[in-house]
Structure 1
Amino acid sequence: MQITKIKLVNSMGKTKGCELAPDLVIDELRRIGHNEKGTRIDFDQLNIREIGFDMNNLEEALFNIQRDSRTSFEKHFKNLFIGGDHNISYSVCKSFLKTEKNPLILIFDAHADCMQAGKEPTHEEWLRKLLEEEHLGSSNIVMISTRNIWKEEVEFIRRNKITIISMDVLQEDLHGVCDMLMERARSSSGFYVSIDIDCLDPAFAPGTGYIEPGGLSSRELIYMLKRLVMLDNFRGADIVEINPKKDINNMTVRLGAKLLSEMV
């Protein structure tokens, strides 16, 4: 298992502080002896590394992340990435898509991230840019816990027939939704999970830039992740948008480490 730290932010200062999360999350991971499955967190067996880049040259940074993560997916079947803000997922997912014939990306996020994309993606439009460039459709993307969507994004999502699982649906039948996600994942050649920490209710994850009330509990997210990672074709995940500068009592950083521990 390889864990890669990506300390990139690109949103005109709105997510400033997320670049501090990777080191702090790994520090907290070292304080976890075993995960809930009873698996020992053995740092001798974990390859923890960092992608280097020039923060002042976004185009080059995204290229380096894509090139490096492509090598990671080719060398290691399972990869975990810690951001940084959500625009790191643009480059990482591009690399993942090139390694699978029938890929699936599951995105846990309070926001759709489908605003009109510019030349270089930010955390607000990375998914739209990825969908448009890679010609992805309803069979390749599922969005979960999304609960604040702008009109422009609604129209784009409808045109592309992207599946969104709202909090209303999750509240009614969490186990049934997880069964459906498992079935979708099984039918893919390989699947990847992108976790924006704001998918959680701010009561559980206050340390992020764009909190949205009414989200998942930490227990609900852990339940779904624990089931998903049991599948043989789980290829990896990222955890993004943890902002230690906005955290309370290190709650969100520790939760990020907890999520990592359940996926190793």
Structure 2
Amino acid sequence: MDKETFIQKAGSPLFTDRYYKKAASLLQEWNGIEEIKGTAVIGVPLSKPSISHSGACFTPATVRKLFHNYSTYAVETREDLQSSKLTDCGDVLMHATDIKESYRRIEQSIEKLIRENPSLHPIFIGGDHSITYSLVKGMSNAKAGTIGVIQFDAHHDLRNTEDGGPTNGTPFNRLLSDEVLQGAHLVQVGIRNYSNSEYYHQFALEKGIRISTMKDVQEKGILCVIEESLEYLQGKVDHIYISVDMDVLDQAYAPGCPALGPGGMTSRELLEAVYKVAQHDKVCGIDIVEIDPTIDFRDMTSRVAVHVMLEYLRGIDIS
């Protein structure tokens, strides 16, 4: 800031406190040349394949902006993330009209990034849930060994592609069909009533998918469900990927989800779950999807996403 004219860079915070380190300070822009070591943020702004109207393509920008609203300090455990490195790789450029081309760009970009930066640990900001197909496929192409997925979601996302092509309801069906992912390597947490059909629930069971419903979460507790899920995957896969569909949350906590509904998780349960999973040494990345900032209330849902990212980073840092 010019102290004589009091002119500062556009977009700078309106107020700063020298003793309050903001989470935005963690984001370090990648120069596109140096090797990326550690955790990185990558925006995947695609929402045209969504079954319902969605402005999830605007989420990466909204989430980055909200990093200015929070600190780096976790008071409950007296941990400060200030020393953590969070490289911002920018966003994958989507094609204006060709959805399949956008999927190809996502897969190719992620595969290349991971091959060239083997220690890269990505946090993907969607976008709708259809991007998970391309993200997992790109990671699978670049990494040796098998990938397992822990999916936080109200829905199975196993819909067929014949009735509407690849959409945000089909990513896990596509991953299974293309043998990128085995049914026994997929764990779904938070599946709830009146968000799925009998056909797709039976399909999930036949494929060997491990399902924990919201009733399981309520009766066992979220940490017990996560411990069981990790123990289940531990000996089956080489890498564990986390996919967070924000509609796993109750509508009271996620008004910006296109497919919001009652009976879901609390934000506290989701944060505890992500932190717990992130500590596992086989975790290789995470995506956060299905937020529409254009219908959100005071960015409530995007604010939860920021906390998911920070809890994930905190878990990774101590693992």
Length-normalised TM-score, structure 2: 0.77
Write the distance in 2 (CA, Å) between the matches of 1:45 and 1:146: 31
- Check if 1:108 corresponds to 2:152: yes
1:164-203 to structure 2, matched below 5 A, reads 164-174=211-221, 175-187=223-235, 188-203=237-252
SS class of match (1:3): strand
1:97-176 to structure 2, matched below 5 A, reads 97-98=140-141, 99-118=143-162, 120-134=165-179, 136-147=181-192, 148-174=195-221, 175-176=223-224
Write the distance in 1 (CA, Å) between the matches of 2:257 and 2:307: 16
SS class of match (1:262): helix
Gap change, CA 1:262 and 1:15, over 3 Å in 2: farther
The answer to whether the 8 A contact 1:35-1:261 is kept is no
Write the distance in 2 (CA, Å) between the matches of 1:3 and 1:49: 7
SS class of match (1:176): helix
SS class of match (1:242): coil
Write the distance in 1 (CA, Å) between the matches of 2:249 and 2:190: 8
2:137 alignment partner, one of 94, 110, 113:
94
In the alignment, what sits opposite 1:59? 100
Q: Percent identity?
A: 25
Gap change, CA 1:181 and 1:100, over 3 Å in 2: farther
The answer to whether the 8 A contact 1:111-1:146 is kept is yes
Write the distance in 1 (CA, Å) between the matches of 2:181 and 2:136: 12
SS class of match (2:178): helix
Structure 1 residue 48: deviation in Å?
3.4
Gap change, CA 1:42 and 1:249, over 3 Å in 2: farther
Structure 1 residue 139: deviation in Å?
2.5
RMSD across aligned positions (CA): 2.0
| Higher relative contact order structure (alpha carbons within 8 Å, sequence separation ≥ 6) | 1
Structure 1 residue 109: deviation in Å?
0.7
SS class of match (1:112): coil
1:212-227 to structure 2, matched below 5 A, reads 212-227=261-276
SS class of match (1:168): helix
Q: Which has the larger radius of gyration?
A: 2
Aligned residues: 264
What are structure 1's unaligned runs of at least 5 residues? none
In the alignment, what sits opposite 1:242? 291
The answer to whether the 8 A contact 1:29-1:261 is kept is no
Gap change, CA 1:61 and 1:11, over 3 Å in 2: closer
Gap change, CA 1:178 and 1:35, over 3 Å in 2: farther
Structure 1 residue 41: deviation in Å?
4.9
Structure 1 residue 177: deviation in Å?
1.0
The answer to whether the 8 A contact 2:153-2:246 is kept is yes
Write the distance in 2 (CA, Å) between the matches of 1:220 and 1:20: 26
